[in-house]
Chains A and B, each alone.
Chain A
Amino acid sequence: MNDENDTISAWLAREIVPHERDVRNWLSRRWYHVLDIEDVIQEAYCRLASLASVDHIECPRSYFFRTVHTVATDLMRRAGIVNFTSMTQIDLSNVVDSGPLADRALEAKQELERVNRLLAELSETHRRAIELRRVEGLSRRETAERLQVSEDALKKYVERGMHRILKIMAEQDERVENGEPDNVEREAEVIGKQRRH
């Protein structure tokens, strides 16, 4: 069970996480008046994490968008809101294109770069901790010793680092909500056009 979990969790980290910001922007733009974005994101991750296998998923980005769309639809239905599906379907098809390889690859690259940029926000201690754990394979205690902090403090550093990274993403959301929809609109248009090639 853990083996499978591990494959899925590696897949989430590699294929899903880089698209979360786009998914959030899209969600915010469409649904932030009626839905709690966090609820949708969490529910979507729950569904993705409980997949038995991801081998059949050719384009994780579209899969992520579709999952989120389904979750949002379900939540709306539960809330008794109807007559929204046709609009969102059209909208979705603009976002989750599976268009030309080169464009998509470039997109994916930009998303990875975005994740990498978030790394700049890591504290030196957090970064060193990851290096010691992952690259040198030290235990938690050895890592804490090398960094000359207590094990509890190490935990706090990492916790704070993760909060910070996740918060920066949420802030990117807010920027969209607070009036930069043009940018997103244009992005969606561009993607929509590329699809027709």
Chain B
Amino acid sequence: MASNGVTNGINEEAVRWAVELAYGEMTAEDEARLEAWLAADTRHRGAFARARAWMRATDDAVAGASHESWAEGPGLVSRRRSVFARNRKIAPGVAALAACLVAIVSVGGPALLSAQRSAHAPAREVVKLNDGSVATLSADANIEVALSADHRRVTLLAGEATFQVAKDKARPFVVRSGDVYAQATGTTYSVRRMGPTGGTIKVTEGSVLVWPRDERDQAVLLQAGGMVTLDPGPKKPSDVPTASASPQLPPPELAQISLDNVSIKSAVARFNRVNSTKIVITDPAIEDMTIIGLYKANDPEQFAHAVAAVAGGSVEHGREGIVINSKSN
């Protein structure tokens, strides 16, 4: 007859071992006994995996809940690696479960929610990429890097990674986590894998464009200090054929230009590099001003009007292209 879901004795033993492993001091003898117990029965292994998973879920939930009250604290989280690191790594990011909770609510589309900055995961491995960028990987992180003449693509397979991106405007730097993409040209940001399709992106410096799947035109611009968790969830059936036909990254061309407090001079240079219609600024005082925003890369007109609005100038169309004059001229 069935156990009525109460017990077959194995669960108790499994919990005892899981707790021993996390909170006890395992001698070599204990380890041998655990090994023997696990080897004896697949149900032992299953019960043990389950007990550990439940402990971890409990830990995550508690840590996630207490993270709320820690988030604004100055000393944040000092995470020393304990003697148990071998068996039980401290999961990166206390906010994991909390972030999951907010990110999962989505009605009719991907959820986009920004949250407060959160603790940094313990850095484990620093990887220098060939383009000069530096990736700092959490203990459980796993990345794939593909650098070519016109793009830089990093796929985060698991865990969390922080990127200090070398400036190279000709080759957009795009990190993919599940079905979430984050692109920057010169900045520091971290990406953490959330479930099979999602990712959490935190920006330390500069700004980053974040979008799900092929919705690059709907990208959000994330500024320094910002954090966003995006989980598009499983693909809808109608998406599947196209998605499986082209599982790779969206085309690397820059559909939008994101400007985070950069000088108008350098912003104009960026537009002029990709457009045949050039923007000319006649007043150096305007060039020194700074501008913020997300602009269509192929629409210098729109950008020029934004500049004129910011600088209090006017837009003219001359032989050289779009000319921005200051009002006094």
Interface set of A (CB-CB < 8 Å, partner B): 2-3, 6-7, 9-10, 12-18, 20, 24, 28, 32-39, 41-50, 54-55, 57-60, 98, 100-102, 104-106, 108-109, 112-113, 115-116, 118-119, 122, 127, 129-131, 133-140, 151, 154-155, 158-159, 161-163, 165-167, 169-170, 173-174, 177
Contact = CB atoms under 8 A, between A and B. Distances in A.
Contacts of B79: 137
B8 to A, nearest CB: 5
Contacts of B82: 133, 137-140
A159 B55 CA distance: 10
B91 interface: yes
Given A20-B50, A131-B66, A135-B63, 18 more contacts: A6-B139, A10-B56, A12-B49, A28-B5, A37-B3, A42-B43, A43-B46, A46-B43, A46-B45, A55-B157, A58-B197, A104-B233, A105-B106, A109-B104, A127-B62, A134-B63, A137-B80, A140-B25
Contacts of B148: none
Given A116-B61, A158-B19, A159-B16, A33 B4 contact: no
Contacts of A158: 19, 22-23, 55
Contacts of B235: 58
A136 B78 contact: yes
Given A13-B60, A163-B15, A38 B5 contact: yes
Contacts of B47: 42, 45
Nearest to A113: B101
Contacts of A159: 15-16, 19
Given A2-B87, A105-B106, A154-B23, A9 B11 contact: no
B106 A58 contact: no
B62 A3 contact: no
Contact of B7 (A20, A155, A170): A170
Given A6-B89, A130-B58, A137-B79, A38 B63 contact: no
A134 B45 contact: no
A95 to B, nearest CB: 16
B104 A108 contact: yes
A46 B53 CA distance: 12
Contacts, number: 240
B99 to A, nearest CB: 11
Contacts of A6: 89, 139-140
A171 B154 CA distance: 46
Interface in B26-57: 42-47, 49-57
B132 interface: no
A105 B49 contact: no
B6 interface: yes
A134 B90 contact: yes
B49 A9 contact: yes
Contact of A43 (B42, B58, B106): B42
19 contacts: A6-B140, A10-B91, A12-B56, A13-B54, A37-B4, A41-B50, A50-B45, A58-B235, A59-B234, A60-B195, A105-B106, A135-B70, A139-B80, A139-B82, A140-B23, A155-B23, A170-B4, A170-B5, A170-B6
A interface, by DSSP: helix, strand, loop or mixed? Answer: helix
Contacts of A49: 45-46, 49, 53
Contact of B43 (A28, A39, A115, A131): A39
Given A6-B139, A13-B56, A14-B97, A135 B77 contact: yes
A115 to B, nearest CB: 6
Contacts of B53: 9, 12-13, 16-17, 45, 49
Nearest to B49: A49
B289 interface: no
Interface in B102-150: 104-108, 111, 139-140, 142
A48 B23 CA distance: 25
A158 B12 CA distance: 13
Given A16-B53, A38-B10, A130-B62, A162 B15 contact: yes
